[in-house]
Structures are given as structure tokens and as C-alpha cells.
Amino acid sequence: MTLVANAGQDELWNGEEGRRWTDHHRRLDRMAAPANEHLFAAAAIGESDQVLDIGCGTGETTRMSARLAARGHAVGIDLSAPMLELARRIATEEAIGNITFERGDAQVHPLPSGRFDVALSRAGVMFFDDPVAAFANIRRTLRPQGRLGFLCHRGGDSHTADILAALARHLPALDPGSRMQGVTDFTDRDHICGVLDRAGFATIATSPVEYLTVLGLDAADAARFLLDVQMAGFVYGAGDEALGQARTALEAALRPHERDGAVRLPAAAWIVTATAV
């Protein structure tokens, strides 16, 4: 039986949202790919390390971790059964032997004490029901002086704010609510540091990073993907007229970012590192 503290996230990622992200995993991974350089520089994985990838999704960052830890092992943990099924299949197809995947909520999952040298996450640690308890559980699974490194979204991104404002004008009921609360909380540096401090981490550091993420071939393609896939759960139930107006507004907001055959949107994030004590 899988222990779950956040039932809402469990239902979300084992329902239509999880299947949608699984079906479109290649494009979603391409969108996130520019963040990988920053994340793995912070994680500093050694070839013999034992690595835990939190909120691993379909396993791209877990596979990258396993390749870096060629004489070690990488474990990916996620709530989503459909994502993990695909993650296991890809790892088998790519003949990666030093990798396993576990379904679980990292807040309460019985992670073995002192097993891992490194815990990392690409935007997968912002949705815990109780972040302090979750990070305390993660800390316990790290060896003394084990490293934590993760990426989370950062506030102050005017481009994203403009896009959300364009949508909200036509979709006034658009309210991510509790699904976005963790994202909002983790844009605040003091909140991040406070959570990690109360969870027992030391040498906590946050570094702002920026990169360009490719949303689509052009504004129409990017708007279609955002509304039909990445933000589909937020606009579910909107009428055809309102959705059409939102799509038009979104295309207009994205058009200034078209260049050289792609829509590239600046993304702002925190890279967070800490040490287990």
C-alpha cells in the first residue's frame, strides 16, 4: 500500500493530468531541458553516488542521474503511476541498469535512513502537504553531509505574469487554487530557507537562474500546447467562446517571443542547495 499525505496531488497525477503529461513527455522534457544544466551543476553527482530524484515524473532527470552515477544507483520517486510506468519502460529500452522507480509521496514514503549521497528535484518539491515534514523525511534518507539540490520557480517573471493576465481577462474563473499554492510559496527565498532550516538542513543557499524555454514552433502552436496540455486542468470546463478568446489573447502575448522558428520564453528559477546534518 502506498502512503500518501497529499490526496489531491495523488488524484491529480493518477488521473487525466498524469496521463496527459505522460502522453506529451517528450515535449515537456524539451521545455524543461534548459534547466538541467543548472540543476546538475548544483547536485554535483559523483560516479559512485546513490541518488534520489524527487518528483521524477517520466524519469528524464533520474536517467541523467544514473548515467552520471555510473558506479552508483539512481532512484526516482513520484506519485504518478502512469508516469512511472513510462519511466521504467524508457529506462529498460535505454539499457540503464542502475536505476529504479518507486511510487510514493516523499513526505511519508518509508525512505531508508542514510542511504543516499544526493537528493535532487526539477520542480518537484513544491506541492507537499507539509513541506517541513517532507524535507525532514528527505534529510533522514541522506547520509551525513549528504547534498540536497533542487530547482523551483521564482517570482518576478513579468513575461509569465503577462501571459497569465491575458488568460485571466477571458477566463475569470481561472483559479489554480491549492494546486499552485506550493509554487507560489516557493518563489520566496525566505520561505524556502525557513522550511529547510526547520527540516534540519544546514549550509542552505539559493541562487537565481534564468534560461529560455521553448514553448512551440510559433505563437499558435505554443498557445495550443499550453491550453490543451500544460494548463488544461486549469481551463477545464470553460465555454468554447471564452476559451477561443483566451487562445487569441494568449497567441498575442506569445507572438513577441517568436524568433528563429520557435517561441522562447524567459524562465526564472531558484537553484537551492543544502547539506544534511
DSSP 184-219: HHTT-HHHHHHHHHHTTEEEEEEEEEEEEEEEESSH
Q: For 137, how many CA atoms within 13 A lie in the half-sphere containing its CB?
A: 19
Q: Give me the pLDDT at residue 276, please.
A: 98
Q: Give me the pLDDT at residue 231, please.
A: 81
Look at residue 259 and tell me if it is in a domain. no
CB-count exposure of residue 177 (10 Å: 0-12, 13-18, 19+): exposed
pLDDT in tens, 27-57: 999 999 999 999 999 999 999 999 999 999 9
Cell 521504467 appears where?
A: 88
The amino acid occupying position 168 is A
Angle in degrees, CA 37, 21, 86, rounded to 5:
85
Look at residue 93 and tell me if it is in a domain. yes
Look at residue 256 and tell me if it is in a domain. no
Q: Give me the pLDDT at residue 181, please.
A: 53
Q: Give me the pLDDT at residue 239, please.
A: 79
Q: Give me the pLDDT at residue 178, please.
A: 42
Look at residue 189 and tell me if it is in a domain. yes
Does the pLDDT of residue 182 top 70, yes or no?
no
Does the pLDDT of residue 265 top 80, yes or no?
yes
Residues in the chain: 277
pLDDT in tens, 64-115: 999 999 999 999 999 999 999 999 999 999 999 999 999 999 999 999 999 9
Look at residue 37 and tell me if it is in a domain. yes
pLDDT in tens, 143-176: 999 999 999 999 766 667 777 777 777 776 555 4
Q: Give me the pLDDT at residue 173, please.
A: 58
Coil vs helix vs strand at 259: strand
**CA distance linking residue 2 with residue 109, whole number of Å:** 8
Look at residue 229 and tell me if it is in a domain. no
Look at residue 162 and tell me if it is in a domain. no
95 or 229, greater pLDDT: 95
* Domain enclosing residue 92, as ranges: 7-155+176-213+267-276
Is 112 in contact with 141 (CB distance < 8 Å)?
A: yes
Does the pLDDT of residue 226 top 50, yes or no?
yes
Q: Give me the pLDDT at residue 179, please.
A: 47
pLDDT band at 241 (very low <50, low <70, confident <90, very high): confident
Q: Give me the pLDDT at residue 242, please.
A: 82
pLDDT in tens, 192-215: 999 999 999 999 999 999 999 999
Q: Domain containing 200 — which CATH number?
A: 3.40.50.150
Q: Give me the pLDDT at residue 167, please.
A: 78
Q: Where are the alpha helices (DSSP H) in the chain?
A: 7-13, 16-23, 25-43, 60-68, 81-93, 131-141, 158-170, 178-185, 189-198, 219-225, 232-235, 240-254
Number of domains in the chain: 1
Q: Give me the pLDDT at residue 177, please.
A: 45
Does the pLDDT of residue 180 top 60, yes or no?
no
- Compute CA distances 233 → 10, 92, 99, 123, 183, whole Å: 14, 31, 31, 18, 16
Q: Give me the pLDDT at residue 157, please.
A: 60
pLDDT band at 140 (very low <50, low <70, confident <90, very high): very high
Look at residue 166 and tell me if it is in a domain. no
